[in-house]
Amino acid sequence: MPGIGFVTSAVLIGLLPELGVRSGAALAMLAGPAPLNNDSGDRRGRRTIRGGRRRVRQALYMAAVASLKTNSPLKAFYNRLRSAGKAPKAALIALARKMLTTLNAMAKTQTAFRA
C-alpha cells in the first residue's frame, strides 16, 4: 500500500496483533483514529480522536502523510475530502483510518493492495 513502509509495517505487526482478526471499526478504536463523541444530555460536543495505541496512531498518521506523495486512490480520497470542506488534519485522520481498515481487510483475506 502506498505510504506503508518498513517502520509502519513493523509497528502494526508488533503493536497491533489484532490486525486481520477484528472488525475495521473495532480496530480503529484500538489504534486510535476513530472519532469518539463528547455528548451529554442534550449537548452534542465535537468528535475527537483520543485513546488507543499512541505509537500505532502516530505511524498511521505518518503513513497517511507519505501516501500523499504518490499518485494513488488514497491521494484522490484525501483530495475529495479536502474539496468537500474538511480541515487538512481531519482529512489526514480519515485517510489514516481508511488505510487501517483496508490493511485489516487485506490481512483477513491474505490479498495484496490493488489500486
- Encode pLDDT of 1-60 as tens digits: 999 999 999 999 999 999 999 998 888 888 877 776 777 777 777 766 777 788 999 999
Task: Provide mean pLDDT across the span 99-107.
Answer: 94
Report residue 92: phi and psi, to 5°.
-65, -40
- Burial (CB < 10 A; 0-12, 13-18, 19+), residue 101, is middle
Residue 61, by phi and psi: left (phi above 0), alpha (psi -120 to 50) or beta? Answer: alpha
Question: Please, which pLDDT band fits residue 75 given cuts at 50, 70 and 90?
Answer: very high
Residue the block writes with cell 490479498: 111
Give CA 96 to chain center in angstroms. 3
